[in-house]
A and B are shown apart, each in its own frame.
Chain A
């Protein structure tokens, strides 16, 4: 029974997304302002002008695990950033702690290059696996931040408390760090260590804030509606329990 409810929720969210995508064309959904993405837009421009790079830490989300969703967002952000940064011939670099993530990052970089009619060069250095354990990944990413003239660090993916080391390297270089993860420990670390931490579902909105595609705005709208339904359900269930029904 519970499995069928799960499938129903999945289908309902899918239908909502399609419906809102159609509605978007007539009336675009207004996104609330998130300071992190406002700063990011400015910082990308400055980094491009200054000839410095943007570093995307994709984390160590495994393609077989449920936490890969945030890694997919990181990959989406990397692909969009590449399109912008290629204007100055300084494509972003990506570090990952998982082999499959590295391959997908290289493919995303290649696709962004091809879209602009540019031949991708030295892909192994631009998207690399810096370590296979959490700590070796973090230390490897620290070295990339120090050596590659990075101006902005985006930590988007599945990370743990090792993210503190990456944020620290970013701070030591005077970089802007914007960080979000599906992991609660990482979110607590970001609250203290990142310039702009992203909490809860904010990290999943990153792609919608970076492009103007209807489907991304629609998915945010569906997400917001679903959240309100859950809140209402929780309140009603609490009241029902309180009055003993």
Chain B
């Protein structure tokens, strides 16, 4: 009974708030704009609360893994220890304190930078793997585009290759024309898909997160 009542009620709220926000965006009517602004403010607050809930959820999962003493317990212990340390430092010393800054500058930033390098290596490996496993015209064009883009981004040992380097080179023109056309084509598809998905959810035709 509860779920029977809850489903149409939540759909109605979605429909009404969604319509107000949508119409407030398109039409210049003061009460609509005011309501839209109010709804968006509430949504920002709810998004912030949901982030906190997400962090609590993560803490709960790691705490239960720690209690189960599985093979993942070490990771969970590291996570929980790091979390407690970060909260204590930021809470007791403040975020402007040099120790808090030091943790960010000497621990978090270097780790994230090293992960970027890992991404680069991973992508090179993935590219070679895609050539090995599913060699096709598409993967060949993809590889050539990557290679030429890399070569064109900086002069090789200070030597400028005429058709590759410079704003008016054949490669730059091709990149502008073909690249922009491809990007626009993909973006048109993405935009249409987003709008259609929005319409489905707004009018309650699809409830991807509910009954």
Tell me the A residues contacting B by CB distance below 8 Å. Answer: 3-4, 6-7, 9-10, 13-14, 17, 62-64, 66-67, 69-70, 72-73, 75-76, 78-79, 96, 98-100, 102-105, 107-108, 111, 114-115, 124-125, 128-130, 132-133, 135, 138-139, 143, 147, 161-162, 164-165, 167-168, 171, 182, 184, 187, 189, 191-193, 199-205, 207, 215-216, 219, 222-223, 226-227, 230
Contact = CB atoms under 8 A, between A and B. Distances in A.
- For chain B, give the interface size range: 35 or more
Contacts of B20: none
B190 A13 contact: no
A191 B142 contact: yes
B50 A100 contact: yes
A33 B26 CA distance: 37
A215 B189 contact: no
Nearest to A21: B205
Contacts of B115: 135, 138-139, 165
Contacts of A143: 72, 75
Interface string B8-21: 00000000000000
Contact of A132 (B54, B112, B119, B186): B54
A189 B123 contact: yes
Contact of B200 (A99, A132, A192, A215): A215
Interface of A is mostly: helix
Contacts, number: 199
A130 to B, nearest CB: 7
Contacts of A63: 43, 47, 50
Contact of B57 (A9, A124, A201, A207): A124
